[in-house]
A and B are shown apart, each in its own frame.
Chain A
């Protein structure tokens, strides 16, 4: 019925030449951009299945000239990648859960109109996004005061929260009708009870959005690892493992240790690509299903404090 209406209204207004022009331009440009967004990934996947000899001869390839699974076999056989996977999954799951708990509690308390300290605490949190100590003092505090050098906590802790995510959560909580909290209070429920039984169930979309931002942050983490995890640490988060394999020859050699006698025999380019595919794979499969929550995040108007 609705479709029928749309069609009839479209028929009423004749499609002008400019409409056709803009639509054509739109389809062409959007198609080209969309293809450009995907193309480099196809190049990596294709090359990861190509033989080292053919990569050295003709370079990266979309469709492998000589199809081989050798790079993957080597990466998998060394076992290091599975340890990285395990570590990254552990860090991502625990970090997202704990972070989500802390952020949602703070987000709820800070938007309660009757809470007298909400402005002071909000400012305390928000100020950190306006002024920061900078990298060197941060690094010295983490390593010399907290002694977190070479500790996984140095990677896990700093990603738990961000001022932006607290504000985002606050804005989500604001959308919950005030009456719900009030009705809980009248029934004599404590703040924690109201939060857990009345507010949290209504926050599901917010939890999904903030949780996914946290999870993406943990999964893509390489920065804190590069600051705090030295060569003394064997197993590193996935993206930083990829960073090392791509940028440091030693790391690449170690990643396939024992399988080849000399470095000249190691299919270096193929291994880099196979690592890249393995480190990114889960994201590519998952993101189409969760992208709507990210859109929710940017359109909720998360900019305001």
Chain B
């Protein structure tokens, strides 16, 4: 009886092992097609993960990550007690909130206005112009901003000078940068972001809009009661997705516009710029990794929460 069971179990196991290899062999070509991608993400995303351990040691170059002295949470403790972690988190989140809320508001606004315009030619040309900032490198964005704002040759100061006003020195004044950075972001992204909303408006049934006109709805009523409600699901989903990334900063923008101008750090230093400097300038890998790990963990929790919320609202749109 016992023997029989055993044999049956063995048989079952050999069979399943057999069928595993069978399946594996049957789909070998598809697996082979995935192999470059698997290898890529393994090498560049998973291989660095054990290195997170550097956040828990006092790193020195000679001993490497795993030979350096283990210090537990000391790196985190230092960043916390110095108030650095709090400042970085605050800056990153507040900038992102402004980017997300104003960005989506302006994108919806632009899409609705574009939809109201009649001239095809005008729509095409203006949309092409509005796309331009999206296609350029962040390095060039830094140059453009410098051309407008620098003290000696900048465009803004030329105008102020011509009007006989005092010249402006924004690169020495940290208070003005939250506004400037948000404006730059909106300048660069609004044209591109409005595309999703514009496409969504174009997808609404023209018969409904036509009917509302026949019923005597004016343009504001049309926007308020037809267009905006039809955009509502898109707006909510895009807002939630964006909120999922609220602790991820826009490194390219901040690094190219602010760079290493330490006069401006208290209002413009975000997690990414701090980590970059700690890694590349100070070679303080332990501190950099501590902040990075903190960011990844918080980010992960937020994405999971957001995904849970989206799943409740509409499972169609959930990430996984």
Q: Which residues of A contact B (CB under 8 A)?
A: 9, 13, 16-19, 21-23, 25-27, 29-31, 33-38, 40-41, 43-44, 47, 55-56, 58-60, 101-103, 105-106, 108-110, 112, 115-117, 121, 123-126, 128, 130-141, 144-146, 157-158, 160-161, 163, 166, 190-192, 195, 216, 219-223, 226-227, 239-240, 242-243, 246-247, 269, 272-273, 276, 279-280, 283-284, 287-288, 291, 294-295, 298-299, 303-305
Contact of A287 among B30, B132, B318 (CB under 8 A): B132
With an 8 A cutoff between CB atoms, is B130 at the interface?
yes
Contacts of A295 in B (CB 8 A): 195, 199
Bound complex: CA of A280 vs CA of B140, how far in Å? 8
Are A38 and B129 in contact, with the CB atoms below 8 A? yes
Are A22 and B116 in contact, with the CB atoms below 8 A? yes
Are B116 and A141 in contact, with the CB atoms below 8 A? no
Contacts of B34 in A (CB 8 A): 105-106, 109-110, 117, 121
Contact of B288 among A112, A123, A135, A144 (CB under 8 A): A135
Are B136 and A44 in contact, with the CB atoms below 8 A? no
Are B126 and A60 in contact, with the CB atoms below 8 A? no
Q: Which residue of A lies closest to B203 (CB)?
A: A299
Are B54 and A136 in contact, with the CB atoms below 8 A? yes
With an 8 A cutoff between CB atoms, is B31 at the interface?
yes
Q: Which residues of B contact A (CB under 8 A)?
A: 23, 27, 29-31, 33-34, 36-38, 40-41, 43-52, 54-55, 64-65, 110, 113-114, 116-118, 122, 125-126, 128-140, 142-148, 152-155, 157-158, 187, 190-192, 195-196, 199, 210, 213-214, 218-220, 223, 237, 241, 251-252, 256, 259, 272, 275-276, 278-280, 285-286, 288-289, 291-293, 295-296, 299-300, 303, 317-320
Bound complex: CA of A17 vs CA of B220, how far in Å? 10
Bound complex: CA of A299 vs CA of B111, how far in Å? 14
Are B279 and A116 in contact, with the CB atoms below 8 A? no
Are A22 and B241 in contact, with the CB atoms below 8 A? no
Are A126 and B320 in contact, with the CB atoms below 8 A? yes
- Sample of 11 further A-B pairs with CB below 8 A, known A40-B144, A136-B51: A115-B30, A121-B38, A124-B41, A126-B320, A128-B45, A137-B289, A140-B48, A157-B40, A160-B40, A220-B136, A298-B196
CB distance from B308 to the nearest CB of A (A): 13
Are B219 and A47 in contact, with the CB atoms below 8 A? no
Closest CB pairs A-B (n = 8)? A134-B292, A137-B51, A220-B137, A59-B153, A133-B48, A128-B45, A106-B37, A105-B33
Contacts of A59 in B (CB 8 A): 152-155, 157-158
A–B pairs, 7, beta carbons within 8 Å? A23-B117, A41-B144, A101-B36, A126-B320, A134-B295, A223-B251, A280-B140
Contacts of A276 in B (CB 8 A): 140, 143
Given A112-B30, A161-B41, A220-B136, answer yes or no on A137-B196 (Cβ-Cβ < 8 Å).
no
Are A30 and B214 in contact, with the CB atoms below 8 A? no
CB distance from A222 to the nearest CB of B (A): 5
Contacts of A110 in B (CB 8 A): 34
Q: Which residue of B lies closest to A275 (CB)?
A: B143
CB distance from A157 to the nearest CB of B (A): 7
Q: Which residue of A lies closest to B115 (CB)?
A: A26
Contacts of A299 in B (CB 8 A): 195-196, 199
Count of inter-chain pairs, beta carbons less than 8 A: 285
Are A33 and B132 in contact, with the CB atoms below 8 A? no
Bound complex: CA of A160 vs CA of B45, how far in Å? 13
Q: Which residue of B lies closest to A220 (CB)?
A: B137
Are B128 and A288 in contact, with the CB atoms below 8 A? yes
Are A27 and B117 in contact, with the CB atoms below 8 A? yes
Bound complex: CA of A26 vs CA of B114, how far in Å? 7
Q: Which residue of B lies closest to A223 (CB)?
A: B252
Are A60 and B140 in contact, with the CB atoms below 8 A? no
Bound complex: CA of A118 vs CA of B56, how far in Å? 36
Are B132 and A30 in contact, with the CB atoms below 8 A? no
Are B128 and A116 in contact, with the CB atoms below 8 A? no
CB distance from B243 to the nearest CB of A (A): 13
Bound complex: CA of A206 vs CA of B192, how far in Å? 19
Are B320 and A137 in contact, with the CB atoms below 8 A? no
Bound complex: CA of A102 vs CA of B251, how far in Å? 27
Given A21-B219, A60-B158, A220-B136, answer yes or no on A136-B44 (Cβ-Cβ < 8 Å).
no
